[in-house]
Structure 1
Amino acid sequence: MMSIVSTAADLMQDFKTGYLTLSSPRSMFVSQLIGTALGCVIAPLTFWLYWTAFDIGNPDGMFKAPYAVIFREMSILGVEGFSALPQHCLAICTFFFFAAIAINFLRDVTPECVSKFVPLPMAMAVPFYIGAYFAIDMFVGTVILFVWERVNHKESEDFAGAVASGLICGDGIWSVPSAILSIMRVDPPMCMYFKPSVAYG
């Protein structure tokens, strides 16, 4: 999801740059296609060059490739299929999938005075994927926007996007409390651990 959104955001940013510089949107899109096609050729050739010239993956070498183990485990998990997932994982995912559709449908059919209080499933899902600090940034941003709309509604409409981008992209709000808790060696009160289903059999 993050990879697709990142690519779409880069494309929209290029379109915005083209609009500001009075460039042709068609030429911007064609240049994106050419760049993607070149990347499909250059990236594998670069990998092949490094693979043949250096000792890739050696823990004591120059190119340790620390993420290789993680991606290897992910590929093994993908090959093994649903049986490799924790117990009831597929059922929980299915439930939340249909719950997200139902909540979105509820937002569409209810009046605006009611729908504005119905949460967005995508907004709830992002903190689970990225981390809890994102939810803290969003909460602080929501409070700021709420007060800002009461104080100066016109200014909040003009600059809310820029402030929200800063709060979402920057980790400044949570980085300081996180560093203080780390220095004080404060551990979270709960943790989550997954075991394979055969361990319970």
Structure 2
Amino acid sequence: MNKVIIFSAPSGSGKTTLVKHSLEVFNDLQFSISCTTRQPRGNEIHAVDYHFLSPDEFRQKISENAFVEFEEVYTDRYYGTLKSEVEKIWKQGKVVIFDVDVKGGISLKKYFGEKALSIFIEPPSIEELERRLILRNTDDAETIKIRVEKAEEELSYAKEFDRIVINTDLDEAKKEIESLIQNFIEETRS
């Protein structure tokens, strides 16, 4: 059965670190590369980290019904998941793993239903989240302020996910994630 695992969290919760860890531990997972209209950050590479599109290219794909889900997070700042990306991974006999924002995660869970395990990564506190964003050193102070405000809103959606993992200690969070994924994959086989 075709399955998907959805990771969602406020920015700075450690979601991407936990997704990368999951991909290292489980050979039958394959990362779904999302589309975005934002500019690459740091060492991000097109078609590896994201499919970087212009707002017009993104809107063209919307008109073609090419997305499983998409969202305009800010004006002309789109994120989305291509149907073709999911199909390609399933054809390889793998489980799709998503690293998406909170609203995207909720949309994906609704779309895939029982085929999906949705995991919300929660920071220990808003203060710790802000500290992590500052330490990450990828955003200016104004962007961090916006991300923290958005995180406060996103935390209210945690209950809409199948599981909540509070990332206080990274090693503990990794163990918890491994257990959740292992159980989910084994359900497929039995």
TM-score, normalisation: structure 1: 0.21
Q: Which has the larger radius of gyration?
A: 1
TM-score, normalisation: structure 2: 0.22
Q: Which has the higher strand share?
A: 2
Q: Which has the higher helix share?
A: 1
* Higher RCO (C-alpha under 8 Å, 6+ residues apart): 2
